[in-house]
Amino acid sequence: MTSGTKTADTKTSKTKASDTEKNIINHMDRLELRLPTMDAPMRWANAGWQDMLRRPFYSFGYGAIFTFGGLLLVWFLYDIGWTAAIPMMAGGFTLIGPFFAIGLYAMSRRFEEGTDIDFSVTRPARFAEPRQLAYVALAMVLCFLLWSLIALFLFAIFTNGHSLALNDFIAFVLTTPKGLSLLAMGTVLGGVIALFVFAFSALSIPILLEHEVDAMTAMTASLRVMIEAPGPMLAWAMIVAIYTFFGVATLFFGLIVVFPMMGHATWHAYRDIVKNPPYKA
């Protein structure tokens, strides 16, 4: 009986180990990626919430800075008379959010280390690959510019180039066939761009904070997890999108809370997925 039990236990442990190995993929011999399960997104969100409450002054400070950037964009569009473009451009502005959350990722890393928290965590010297981070930021900016060009092009096509006040534009979008077509096409195209940005940025920036790899390796690692585990990653993308929509819909003020929460949660997503210690070139 004892021998049989040991044999069964051995087989069970081997089966569990085999199942675990199936969930781990090697990326370019530099990163070991653990594919997330469907319950992971909620764990990340909860962990992000807990981190945000550990040092609310700093977390909300980052949220306030990002919110100020959004309000500045709205003021600029209002000042030049492009009020109708505010909803479209506000959505595009959130595409570059992951880069501005660098300080939040660094804060969560400090929490793990048990060290003090201050705004110096964002100094480039504390990052493994500060130059490579710039390439990821450039990719985000290019996607934001593409989003902006598409939004302005669609606006010009469907409104025949006429300038509309924000209230008139909202009425146009919601009550006219052309407006509904604009809304549908803009949502689809914007969604594709947003999903692409999410796919390559979900893990790439946290990776570059710790691992001495190039931007392409980091971005393709993020894309690979998205492809290999579409269910959990799409669920995570949906959670991020819902919270972000709430933050923008409250005239950006909701981002004071949403932005730091999602930033901290992104770090925990990275920690859950990237299995190996910091890679040194």
SS (H, E, C) 176-215: CHHHHHHHHHHHHHHHHHHHHHHHHHCCHHHHHHHCCCCH
What whole-number distance in Å separates Cα of residue 59 and Cα of residue 254? 13
Query: Residue 81's pLDDT is what?
Result: 81
Domain annotation covers residue 26: no
Q: What is the model's pLDDT at position 85? A: 82
Q: Give the number of other CB atoms < 10 A from CB of residue 214.
A: 17
pLDDT at 126: 65
Is 6 inside any structural domain? no
Mapped onto helix, strand or coil, the DSSP state of residue 33 is strand
Residue 59 lies in a domain: yes
Q: What is the pLDDT of residue 3?
A: 45
What was the pLDDT predicted at 252? 92
Q: What is the pLDDT along the chain (281 residues), one digit of tens a residue?
A: 444 444 434 444 444 444 445 577 777 778 899 999 999 999 999 999 999 999 999 999 999 999 999 999 999 988 888 888 888 888 888 999 999 999 899 899 989 888 877 766 656 546 777 889 999 999 999 999 999 899 889 888 888 877 788 888 889 888 999 989 998 998 899 999 999 999 999 999 999 988 989 999 999 999 999 999 999 999 999 999 999 999 999 989 999 999 999 999 999 999 999 987 776 65
Q: Let me know if residue 67 belongs to a domain.
A: yes
Residue 13, domain member (yes or no): no
Q: How many domains does the chain have?
A: 1
| Distance (Å, whole) CA 128 – CA 212 | 6
In-domain check, residue 158:
yes
- Whether 96 maps to a domain, the answer reads yes
> What ranges make up the beta strands (E) of 54-181?
none
In a domain, 184, yes or no: yes
pLDDT at position 155 is: 86
Q: What pLDDT does 281 receive?
A: 59
Residue 93 tokens, joined: 């502005």
**Which amino acid is it at 169?**
F
Residue 236 lies in domain: 39-273
Of the candidates 203, 190, 7, 210, the one whose C-alpha atom is nearest the C-alpha of residue 89 is 190
pTM for this structure? 0.85
